[in-house]
Protein backbone atom coordinates (compact mmCIF):
# COMPACT_ATOMS: atom_id res chain seq x y z
CA UNK A 1 0.00 0.00 0.00
CA UNK A 2 3.06 2.24 0.04
CA UNK A 3 3.01 2.56 -3.75
CA UNK A 4 0.01 4.88 -3.96
CA UNK A 5 0.51 7.70 -6.44
CA UNK A 6 -1.04 10.61 -4.58
CA UNK A 7 -0.50 13.26 -7.22
CA UNK A 8 -2.46 11.37 -9.87
CA UNK A 9 -5.09 10.38 -7.33
CA UNK A 10 -5.66 13.96 -6.22
CA UNK A 11 -5.83 15.32 -9.76
CA UNK A 12 -8.26 12.74 -11.13
CA UNK A 13 -10.28 12.29 -7.93
CA UNK A 14 -10.89 15.98 -7.38
CA UNK A 15 -11.45 16.68 -11.07
CA UNK A 16 -14.05 13.97 -11.60
CA UNK A 17 -15.53 14.64 -8.14
CA UNK A 18 -16.12 18.28 -9.05
CA UNK A 19 -17.95 17.28 -12.20
CA UNK A 20 -20.01 14.61 -10.43
CA UNK A 21 -20.93 17.06 -7.66
CA UNK A 22 -21.83 19.96 -9.94
CA UNK A 23 -24.06 18.08 -12.40
CA UNK A 24 -26.89 17.49 -9.85
CA UNK A 25 -26.97 21.21 -9.10
CA UNK A 26 -28.31 21.94 -12.56
CA UNK A 27 -30.35 18.86 -13.40
CA UNK A 28 -32.02 17.86 -10.14
CA UNK A 29 -31.23 16.79 -6.61
CA UNK A 30 -31.97 13.10 -7.16
CA UNK A 31 -29.29 12.92 -9.84
CA UNK A 32 -26.52 12.68 -7.20
CA UNK A 33 -27.26 8.98 -6.75
CA UNK A 34 -26.66 8.51 -10.49
CA UNK A 35 -23.67 10.76 -11.08
CA UNK A 36 -21.81 9.59 -7.99
CA UNK A 37 -21.33 5.93 -9.06
CA UNK A 38 -20.61 6.94 -12.65
CA UNK A 39 -18.00 9.45 -11.50
CA UNK A 40 -16.41 6.87 -9.21
CA UNK A 41 -16.13 4.35 -12.02
CA UNK A 42 -14.77 6.93 -14.46
CA UNK A 43 -12.08 8.07 -12.05
CA UNK A 44 -10.94 4.48 -11.44
CA UNK A 45 -11.03 3.80 -15.17
CA UNK A 46 -8.89 6.85 -15.89
CA UNK A 47 -6.29 6.16 -13.19
CA UNK A 48 -5.69 2.39 -13.21
CA UNK A 49 -3.98 2.12 -16.64
CA UNK A 50 -1.66 5.01 -15.78
CA UNK A 51 -0.14 3.59 -12.61
CA UNK A 52 2.48 0.86 -12.67
CA UNK A 53 2.04 -0.85 -9.28
CA UNK A 54 -0.77 -1.15 -6.78
CA UNK A 55 -3.50 -0.67 -9.35
CA UNK A 56 -6.28 -1.96 -7.09
CA UNK A 57 -5.41 0.27 -4.14
CA UNK A 58 -4.85 3.31 -6.31
CA UNK A 59 -8.24 2.74 -7.96
CA UNK A 60 -9.92 2.22 -4.60
CA UNK A 61 -8.52 5.43 -3.13
CA UNK A 62 -9.32 7.57 -6.19
CA UNK A 63 -12.83 6.18 -6.36
CA UNK A 64 -13.50 6.91 -2.68
CA UNK A 65 -11.97 10.40 -3.00
CA UNK A 66 -14.22 11.14 -5.96
CA UNK A 67 -17.27 10.16 -3.93
CA UNK A 68 -16.25 12.28 -0.95
CA UNK A 69 -15.55 15.35 -3.10
CA UNK A 70 -18.79 15.02 -5.09
CA UNK A 71 -20.89 14.53 -1.95
CA UNK A 72 -19.23 17.42 -0.13
CA UNK A 73 -19.69 19.83 -3.05
CA UNK A 74 -23.28 18.82 -3.49
CA UNK A 75 -24.21 19.24 0.17
CA UNK A 76 -22.40 22.57 0.48
CA UNK A 77 -24.47 23.75 -2.46
CA UNK A 78 -27.66 22.39 -0.90
CA UNK A 79 -26.88 24.10 2.41
CA UNK A 80 -26.20 27.45 0.73
CA UNK A 81 -29.32 27.26 -1.43
CA UNK A 82 -31.96 25.72 0.85
CA UNK A 83 -30.59 26.16 4.34
CA UNK A 84 -30.14 23.77 7.24
CA UNK A 85 -33.82 22.79 7.52
CA UNK A 86 -33.84 21.01 4.18
CA UNK A 87 -30.19 19.96 3.98
CA UNK A 88 -29.98 18.43 7.48
CA UNK A 89 -32.37 15.50 6.92
CA UNK A 90 -31.00 14.90 3.42
CA UNK A 91 -27.46 14.82 4.74
CA UNK A 92 -28.46 12.43 7.52
CA UNK A 93 -30.10 10.10 5.01
CA UNK A 94 -27.08 10.29 2.72
CA UNK A 95 -24.66 9.51 5.56
CA UNK A 96 -26.57 6.31 6.30
CA UNK A 97 -26.89 5.17 2.68
CA UNK A 98 -23.80 6.41 0.85
CA UNK A 99 -20.93 4.76 2.77
CA UNK A 100 -22.01 1.24 1.80
CA UNK A 101 -22.62 2.33 -1.78
CA UNK A 102 -19.22 4.01 -1.95
CA UNK A 103 -17.48 0.97 -0.47
CA UNK A 104 -19.16 -1.47 -2.85
CA UNK A 105 -18.54 0.59 -5.97
CA UNK A 106 -14.96 1.40 -5.00
CA UNK A 107 -14.09 -2.22 -4.32
CA UNK A 108 -15.90 -3.67 -7.32
CA UNK A 109 -14.83 -0.99 -9.81
CA UNK A 110 -11.20 -1.06 -8.73
CA UNK A 111 -11.06 -4.84 -8.83
CA UNK A 112 -12.78 -4.99 -12.22
CA UNK A 113 -10.58 -2.40 -13.90
CA UNK A 114 -7.37 -3.72 -12.32
CA UNK A 115 -8.05 -7.30 -13.43
CA UNK A 116 -9.12 -6.18 -16.88
CA UNK A 117 -5.94 -4.15 -17.28
CA UNK A 118 -3.77 -7.06 -16.10
CA UNK A 119 -5.53 -9.39 -18.53
CA UNK A 120 -5.00 -6.89 -21.36
CA UNK A 121 -1.29 -6.59 -20.59
CA UNK A 122 -0.95 -10.38 -20.50
CA UNK A 123 -2.70 -10.79 -23.85
CA UNK A 124 -0.62 -8.00 -25.38
CA UNK A 125 2.59 -9.73 -24.24
CA UNK A 126 1.40 -13.05 -25.69
CA UNK A 127 0.67 -11.42 -29.04
CA UNK A 128 4.05 -9.67 -29.07
CA UNK A 129 5.79 -12.95 -28.23
CA UNK A 130 3.87 -14.71 -30.97
CA UNK A 131 4.92 -12.04 -33.46
CA UNK A 132 8.52 -12.42 -32.31
CA UNK A 133 8.33 -16.18 -32.87
CA UNK A 134 8.15 -17.46 -29.30
CA UNK A 135 5.43 -19.05 -27.21
CA UNK A 136 4.85 -18.76 -23.49
CA UNK A 137 6.69 -22.08 -23.02
CA UNK A 138 9.77 -20.75 -24.78
CA UNK A 139 9.45 -22.88 -27.94
CA UNK A 140 10.21 -21.22 -31.22
CA UNK A 141 7.41 -21.13 -33.71
CA UNK A 142 7.04 -19.68 -37.13
CA UNK A 143 6.22 -16.00 -36.66
CA UNK A 144 2.84 -14.83 -37.85
CA UNK A 145 2.97 -12.63 -40.91
CA UNK A 146 -0.18 -11.37 -42.53
CA UNK A 147 -0.21 -12.22 -46.22
CA UNK A 148 -2.76 -11.34 -48.83
CA UNK A 149 -4.79 -14.09 -50.39
CA UNK A 150 -3.40 -15.63 -53.56
CA UNK A 151 -6.68 -15.56 -55.43
CA UNK A 152 -7.15 -12.43 -57.49
CA UNK A 153 -10.64 -11.15 -57.92
CA UNK A 154 -11.27 -9.58 -61.29
CA UNK A 155 -14.55 -8.21 -62.45
CA UNK A 156 -16.13 -10.37 -65.13
CA UNK A 157 -16.84 -8.90 -68.51
CA UNK A 158 -20.44 -8.79 -69.52
CA UNK A 159 -21.44 -10.69 -72.65
CA UNK A 160 -23.13 -8.73 -75.37
Per-position pLDDT tens, the chain of length 160: 567 778 888 899 999 999 998 888 888 777 877 888 899 999 999 888 888 888 889 889 999 999 999 989 988 888 888 788 878 888 888 888 888 888 998 999 899 999 999 999 999 888 887 777 665 566 666 666 666 666 666 677 777 6
Angle between helices 32-47 and 6-27 (to 10 degrees): 160
pTM of the model: 0.73
**109 CB-side CA count, 13 A:** 28
From its phi and psi, is residue 135 left (phi > 0), alpha (psi between -120 and 50) or beta?
A: beta
| Separation between Cα atoms, residue 51 and residue 127, nearest integer Å | 22
Amino acid sequence: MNNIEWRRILISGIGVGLIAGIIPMFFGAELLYSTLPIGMMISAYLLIPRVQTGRFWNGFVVSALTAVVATAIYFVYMYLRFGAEVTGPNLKAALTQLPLLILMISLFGSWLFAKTHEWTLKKREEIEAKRAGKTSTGKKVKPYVARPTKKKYKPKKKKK
